[in-house]
Amino acid sequence: MTLRSVINFLLFQGVWLLALFLEQRAIIPILLIIILMLCLSQQKQQDMLLLCYGLMISLSFEYLMVEVGFLSFSISPFPLWFILLWCALLLTINTSMQFLHRTPWYLAMLLCAVFAPASYIAGARFGALEVHPVVWQFWLIYGFAWSLMFNFIRVINTYSKKYLLVSEHK
């Protein structure tokens, strides 16, 4: 893992902790960290494109999960800090989570299905959101659905990278 990947990982963890503990009061520091993540990016064009389609896909997914009752927030459908948390997560795909590109698809799916619900459940334990139904059902159902959604974003990212490389050489 390169120093850039470690910094990217630590910046994301900082965003996650700020969002968890400060929620709406963390908006400005989170925005500054996201700007820093973009400034440190070695693939700014790809990351900006990833933010555009990644946010549309992820927030549509999260909206659906709120509507069907898997998640709830104090601000409906979800607060700004949650949107910014998604921005920061998406900015890890090409840097600190690039190892997922070399991971077999089924292992990447399993990792997402295990660790994503854990993050939401931790947030719920601190009162940042609520998860429904009971924890084990949330973990199984939401974890599987989240894993499909996130890996779909990763696949689009892989193809967009190839497209950007081809268009740069024209």
**Residue pair 87/33 in contact by the 8 Å Cβ criterion:** no
How many whole angstroms separate alpha carbon 30 and alpha carbon 83? 11
pTM of structure: 0.94
How many whole angstroms separate alpha carbon 91 and alpha carbon 3? 16
Could you give phi then psi for residue 32, rounded to 5 degrees?
Answer: -65, -40
The count of domains in the chain is 1
The 10s digit of each residue's pLDDT in 116-141 is 999 999 999 999 999 998 999 999 99
Query: For the chain, what percent of residues have pLDDT higher than 70?
Result: 96
| Domain region containing 98 | 3-168
